[in-house]
Amino acid sequence: MNHEIETIQQHLAKLRQVIEQHNYNYDVLNNPSIPDAEYDRLFHELQQIEHRFPQLVTADSPTQRVGAPPLKAFSQITHRIPMLSLGNALEDAEVAAFDRRMREDLEVDCVEYAVEPKFDGLAVSLRYENGILMTGATRGDGYVGEDITLNLRTIRAIPLRLTADPLPAVLEVRGEVLMLKADFMKLNQQQRENGEKEFANPRNAAAGSLRQLNSGITAARRLTFFAYGIGIGEGSTVPKDKHNHIMEFLAALHFPVAPECGVVKGLDALQQYYHDVGSQRDQLPYEIDGVVYKVNSLAQQEKLGFVSRAPRFALAHKFPAQEAVTELLDIDVQVGRTGALTPVARLKPVIVGGVTVTNATLHNADEINRKNIMIHDSVVVRRAGDVIPEVVSVVLEKRPSNAKPFDMPDHCPVCGAKAVRLPEEAVVRCIGGLFCPAQQKQAIMHFASRRAMDIEGLGEKLVAQLVDNAMIRTPADLYKLGLSALSGLARMAEKSASNIVAAIEKSKNTTLARFIYALGIRNVGETTAKELARHFGSLDSLMCANIEDLQQVTDIGPVVAQSTVDFFSEPHNREVIEQLRFCGLRWIERANKTGESAHHLTLAGKTFVLTGTLPHMTREEAREKIEKLGGKVVGSVSSKTDYVIAGADPGSKYDKAVKFGIKILDEAGLLQLLH
Ligand code: IVH
């Protein structure tokens, strides 16, 4: 028996090591080495064995990265080596003065520096004892931080166990926890879809995700980590000579080290590095707010010492603020594809972070009120990365006597249709739908796009030409265009005109899913369109569906259900659909779903929500299995949900399930229930 346990233990150790290597390849090297399904299989195997032998679960097992029961409060951790701050410089002259100080104090002609990005995230310290991650803490006041070990364990870029021979007895790795820009965008989209508050920037999102008493929430968010140094380092292998050797040492231990880190000599090279990194800033996958220069030699660092709370041997060279003050000349209202009315600030031109800005978004009427913005005010404008510049705040002291409040129009400025605001929404929308000229071009473009009706050759210029010449107003008009009308257009060759006519003709043969997607119903993307087509089988039954019917469809919550009902209740939209059918658009339909015989319905009355990727079946397959037994699968978690089935990378539904205390099952748990 002991022997058997030993064999299992060895197998588990090997399995964990293989899984962590894949985590490293995926999260640190951005170079996945096996298909997701294979990774899931390994992970599932580990979970199953650990489930059978709970006494063999270790704190460093990858299965422990999913979070732990919520804490009541964070406890405190004292940093034996304080986590200091950095001196700042903005001007070139300050950098020159820094380099002069270094040369003079060290009595050398030229200083070697380690150069690094200044990550815009949250500083943490990770303590490893004999290679095992024991504690992780926030910076706090630099001397005492909060114990966020459970949360840090969920970040896959952070090793739970180090492999080296010999292992350092104690190693405190210092670095920054970040949320990548791409993950930040995804998270905010999710928050939007769930009607929850969006985060202002990746830093806030990372902070909000990391400082959670419930580490299950941290686990559901995608965070990453970059190392930039060490605190305590006990062991013969810890480099004692140069900072860049410490960074290489950390990289070899599988800590993420930014590829932008380097070593340079002299002042000119510092300035060069600053400009190089600055020019890459918008393209980097993570936010930075400057660069950091550190004297590379540790002996020289020691000689230079500290002033108050910052090392004398390091300097943060910050990028210029991406903010500027200018006059708000006027507020225009723009109409987007989905009819959203967006107030846009017309600004007196101003340079923000090196770019001239003349327009900035004001988001919506609530934001204007909340920020107390009036026309002719002096406003603070911010530009972050490549996103649209925004008006952040108003300089009240400078408000002129002719300042004018702004009223959101109650009619669409383009088509004159009513502009309404749905109860849970911040935006006002034109209800003109496909009949609003502002929305026409965009709607037609979307209708013709590759994943919708796939009309080849119908590009932006041609659509604009057709709409501007009043030749088409709705997608249905496309099917009434003749060869002569098209070839009569400026710059249109006979051959291309006949190609387009043929492409339009060809598009008539389509699928219900494509057609639903092509309609451009708000919040109905390609995947949702497919689900709707699968569930309802015919356009008529979809058009008759009410909010409750729609919420029966996989992944459809109240927001999507409402916008679908709204779309089909708009007479203009129904008319366009009628015309499209009349023009000969066709697809295969099937009758509505029928129920299964009643005596198998062991899950009758039970409500399920699916989230994340299941290892061995698609969510659709899971849904079918549940529905076969009479269970109901809905799109969002509420107190009425009985089970949440969570796969890998679950969304915010997982957080909600934790919050409501709803039973969470993995795929294996679901299968058990089904049997
Ligand atoms: S070194 C003793 N390196 O900046 C020096 N800090 O203002 C300790 N930071 O709280 C810091 N990137 O969170 C260092 N490459 C980098 C950094 C960095 C970002 C943050 C760090 C610290 C703050 C200091």
pLDDT tens profile 507-558: 999 999 999 999 999 889 888 999 999 899 899 999 999 999 999 988 888 8
Q: What φ, ψ does residue 9 adopt, rounded to 5°?
A: -60, -45
Alpha carbon nearest to ligand 1 atom 23, residue:
85
**pLDDT range class, residue 502, cuts 50, 70, 90:** very high
In ligand 1, the atom with minimum distance to the C-alpha of 88 is 7
In ligand 1, the atom with minimum distance to the C-alpha of 139 is 10
pLDDT of residue 128: 97
pLDDT tens profile 3-46: 888 999 999 999 999 999 999 988 888 787 888 888 888 999 99
Ligand 1, residues at Cβ distance < 6 Å: 84-86, 116, 118-119, 123, 139, 176, 228-229, 292, 311, 314, 316
pLDDT tens profile 74-90: 999 999 999 988 998 98
Per-residue 3-state assignment (H helix, E strand, C coil) for 298-351:
HHHHHHHCEECCEECCEEEEECCCCEEEEEEEEEEEEECCCCEEEEEEEEEEEE
Cα(394) to centroid of ligand 1, in Å? 31
CA dist 540 and 545 (Å) reads 9
- What percent of the chain is predicted at pLDDT more than 90? 55
Using most ligand atoms within 8 A of CB, pick from 203, 226, 228, 318 the residue to mutate for ligand 1.
228
Pairing of strands 663-665, 262-265: unpaired
In ligand 1, the atom with minimum distance to the C-alpha of 85 is 24
Beta strand segments in 103-220, E: 112-119, 122-129, 132-138, 144-146, 170-178
Using most ligand atoms within 8 A of CB, pick from 84, 85, 86, 274 the residue to mutate for ligand 1.
86
Alpha carbon nearest to ligand 1 atom 17, residue:
118
Alpha carbon nearest to ligand 1 atom 18, residue:
118
Cα(85) to centroid of ligand 1, in Å? 6
3-class SS of residue 197: coil
pLDDT tens profile 576-598: 999 999 999 998 887 544 333 34
Mean pLDDT across 384-409: 87
Alpha carbon nearest to ligand 1 atom 3, residue:
228
- Greatest mean pLDDT among 65-69, 512-516, 663-667, 671-675 lies in 512-516
Per-residue 3-state assignment (H helix, E strand, C coil) for 57-107:
CCCCCHHHHHCCCCCCCCCEEECCCCCCCCEEECCHHHHHHHHHHHHHHHC
Pick the closest to residue 141 from 78, 204, 222, 192 (CA basis): 78
**pLDDT range class, residue 354, cuts 50, 70, 90:** low
Beta-carbon contacts of 672 under 8 Å, excluding residues fewer than 6 positions away, are: none
In ligand 1, the atom with minimum distance to the C-alpha of 258 is 15
- Which of the two residues, 35 and 150, has the higher pLDDT score? 150
Pairing of strands 170-178, 224-234: antiparallel
Please measure the distance between the N-terminal and C-terminal CA atoms of the chain and give it in whole angstroms.
Answer: 31
**pLDDT range class, residue 600, cuts 50, 70, 90:** low
Beta strand segments in 495-635, E: 607-611, 632-634
Does residue 177 contact residue 155 with C-beta atoms inside 8 Å? Answer: yes
Cα(302) to centroid of ligand 1, in Å? 18
Using most ligand atoms within 8 A of CB, pick from 118, 224, 263, 288 the residue to mutate for ligand 1.
118
The catalytic residue among 14, 118, 294, 530 is: 118
Mean pLDDT across 442-462: 91
Whether 640 is a known active-site residue: answer no
CA dist 546 and 263 (Å) reads 64
pLDDT of residue 331: 96
pLDDT tens profile 245-276: 999 999 999 999 999 999 999 999 999 999 99
- What percent of the chain is predicted at pLDDT more than 70? 97
Q: What is the per-residue DSSP string for 425-468?
A: -SSEEETTGGGSHHHHHHHHHHHHSTTTT--TT--HHHHHHHHH
CA dist 283 and 182 (Å) reads 11
Alpha carbon nearest to ligand 1 atom 14, residue:
228
Cα(106) to centroid of ligand 1, in Å? 23
Using most ligand atoms within 8 A of CB, pick from 84, 292, 293 the residue to mutate for ligand 1.
292
Cα(506) to centroid of ligand 1, in Å? 60
**pLDDT range class, residue 385, cuts 50, 70, 90:** low
Cα(306) to centroid of ligand 1, in Å? 15
Pairing of strands 310-311, 306-307: antiparallel
Query: pTM here?
Result: 0.58
pLDDT tens profile 223-250: 999 999 999 999 999 999 999 999 999 9
Cα(382) to centroid of ligand 1, in Å? 24
Lowest mean pLDDT among 302-316, 428-442, 446-460: 428-442
CA dist 540 and 548 (Å) reads 16
- Greatest mean pLDDT among 248-257, 340-349, 391-400 lies in 248-257
